[in-house]
Structure 1
Amino acid sequence: MNTIIQNILVFIAIGFALIFLIKKFIWKKPASKKSCGGDDGCGCH
């Protein structure tokens, strides 16, 4: 019974780690088009 619970917890931990790595390195959000390089009135200059 203990080994079943340990295996389930290990697989859950591996799943969270893989999801984190995929979101961090593979699935990137597109860059925001509101950069402060132009005269868009963002007030940072």
Structure 2
Amino acid sequence: MIQEIIAFIILALAVGFLAKKYFFKKKKSSKSCASDDCGCH
């Protein structure tokens, strides 16, 4: 019972991390690098 709850929490954290890494990074990096030369090229 407790192991299942912990496994679901870890799964949710992993899915959230991957979603943040792949879907929200493009908007932030393109916005910050478009206006000035931030050295990320």
Unaligned runs of 5+ in 2: none
RMSD: 2.0
Give TM-score scaled by structure 1 length: 0.59
Structure 1, gaps ≥5 residues long = 37-45
Normalised by the length of structure 2, the TM-score is 0.64
Secondary structure at 1:20 match in 2: helix
Identity %: 39
Find the structure with the greater CA-based Rg: 1
Give the total of aligned pairs: 34
The equivalent residue for 1:24 is 21
